Amino acid sequence: MSAAIMERAGAVMANTYKRQPLVITRGQGWQVWDDAGRCHADFVAGIAVCNLGHSHPALARVVAAQAATLWHVSNLYYTVPQIELAEWLTGHSFADKAFFCNSGAEANEAAIKIARKFFKDNGQPGRYGIIAMERSFHGRTMATLSATGQDKVRKGFDPVLEGFSFVPFNDAKALAETIGPDTCAVLMEPIQGEGGVRCPDPDYLAKVRELCDRTGTLLIFDEIQTGIGRTGTLFAHEHFNVTPDIMTLAKALANGLPIGAMLATDRVATAFGPGAHATTFGGTPIVTATALEVLKILTEGGAMDQGRETGVYFKKALMALKAKHRCILDVRGLGLLLGVKLAGDAAPVVDACRAKGFLINAVQDKILRFAPPLIIPARAIDDLIACLDEELEAIDKMCI
């Protein structure tokens, strides 16, 4: 059946994804099933999206209740679920105002626009440059791929938008040398996800904040992958006691329903007045009601605490693998956003794990990335570690 379904997809769908040969038909908790009825442990979670797992009963109830009440009326009017979500997010973060959209790329578009407009509104129209990080990933729209520090993402879309420059991640000296009178913002992920699960040095984000304060530059944290409990805290920047002026969220915010958010301080938010920015579907009642329930379950139901504890357990197990296998060069990450850098190509390991019922993925060719639901049990981690242990033996032999 899978081959027939994949053939149908090839006939009618744009070939923009390098999909794995798997047709998923059902999910429950940390597991998914394919069209042959085979169960797989999901260590991808929709790419760090389904933090509460699949088909969560409380979320299903919220979706059904809201769908039976009000679906969509546009942002020409007020809706209570949207206001309640904004109240929750601003009440649990540095921010004062929220703008809702449909995706992470849209949230970053909003952040780029508000940063540039902030300086134009304050009499500095020439201050529009944005410094991003090498190996960063901020989206695939024209503005966000222009802000992405990976040539493979930008390839074929020249000319990209002007005003973006890049410095190495974790290099405060390079950033200090690059910030100039035309710089309006520094845009960065606190932990690079697509860039290889790369964590900052303990004092790096504080140095970035100090540089921004000293030069009057806005600091934007892209927490699209790292936010909503993924690293063990609600937002990854909390690990480093540093706050931005602007933050973007998406992915896990509604556990898979399409929503993005751009949060900002009052000082910055004044740049967005009526007509400055908009979206038809941003923050509909169904997605905002679901997102609010997600946040309550994470923080009040113990899911985030569980994920933090499980992340420690998982990383310890990966470190034990590293001690055993010479092909593992590094173990990275926080919470349940973890990466393993291999000496060789990671794709064969992904394929072998899938064949044995474990869904993982690879980034930057040689790095295995693990981002399971925060509710993943220890026994599933133990089973994956056993699978990896077996598969890495073959790679070890090639590293001799």
Catalytic residues: 137, 222, 251
DSSP bridge pairs for 40: 32
Distance from the Cα of residue 316 to its chain's centroid = 23
CB count, 10 Å around CB of 156? 6
Go through 81-120 and write b for each residue having 16 or more CB atoms within 10 A of its CB, e for each that does not: bbeebbebbbeebbbebbbbbbbbbbbbbbbbbbbbbbbe
Residue 191 burial (C-beta neighbours within 10 Å; 0-12, 13-18, 19+): buried
Alpha-carbon distance 1 to 153, whole Å? 33
Task: Decide: 192 and 132 in contact? Cβ < 8 Å.
Answer: no
CA dihedral 188, 192, 196, 198 (to 10 degrees): 110
Residue 237 CA: distances (Å) to CA of 58, 188, 216, 356: 28, 11, 20, 36
